[in-house]
Amino acid sequence: MVRAVLLGPPGSGKGTQAARVCKARGLLHLSTGDLLRAAVKDQTALGLKAKGFMDRGELVPDELVFALLRERLRSPASGAGFLLDGFPRNVSQAGTLDAELGARGIARVVHLKLDDEEIVRRLLGRGRPDDTEPVIRNRLKVYRAETSPLIAFYDRRGLLVTIEASGSVDEVAQRLDAALFGRQGGL
């Protein structure tokens, strides 16, 4: 069973790549960004609370995000395994995840590496409502301050594999598949 995390800056292609490998390998794709956007669209109580944080490019409070994730992590559909996309996003969320999973913890973390110039270029081309320049800048700042420490956090545990996120969607997909399932340390 695959229990993996995809880590990387906004615009690194986490969502696209996660959807693709999950479909190909029958994994449950757990995207906190998608779950939050669905809650905002449906105007649930949680979505209404989350919206302002998302519009400003800030992190949504941990308890709201985990409320969306918890049942899904426990759902039987995650039998073949799951790939987390956009979670954890800070060290506190990583601790919550450890506590939730217990002994059957995360076995692999794939870090999609991309330089800042390429990040901004991609996000400005994407045109999601939170993809305006000031909000992108803030998301990058939050990524550096809060999320990037997770790279060292998981590396110390021997779980991290870093892959290059530039190149075509197909090229990155091959790298991700190899990082998750390849012979060198496949799960």
Tell me the C-alpha distance between 115 and 33, whole Å.
21
Beta strands in 98-151 (DSSP E): 108-113
Give yes or no for residue 47 binding ligand ADP (CB under 6 A): no
Give yes or no for residue 108 binding ligand ADP (CB under 6 A): no
Length of the chain, please?
187
CB of 20 to ligand ADP, least distance (A): 16
Q: Using CB under 6 A, which of 13, 86, 160, 161 touches ligand ADP?
A: 86
DSSP state of 103: T
Give yes or no for residue 5 binding ligand ADP (CB under 6 A): no
The smaller minimum CB distance to ligand ADP, of residues 77 and 91, is found at: 91
Tell me the C-alpha distance between 187 and 175, whole Å.
15
Q: Using CB under 6 A, which of 7, 10, 83, 176 touches ligand ADP?
A: 10
- Judged by CB under 6 A, the stretch of 10-18, 97-105, 149-157, 167-175 that binds ligand ADP is 10-18
Give the dihedral sign, CA 25/59/107/72.
negative
Give yes or no for residue 122 binding ligand ADP (CB under 6 A): no
The smaller minimum CB distance to ligand ADP, of residues 47 and 86, is found at: 86
The smaller minimum CB distance to ligand ADP, of residues 54 and 179, is found at: 54
The smaller minimum CB distance to ligand ADP, of residues 34 and 155, is found at: 34
For ligand ADP, the binding residues (CB under 6 A) are: 10-11, 14, 32-33, 36, 53-54, 57-60, 65, 86-87, 89, 93, 139
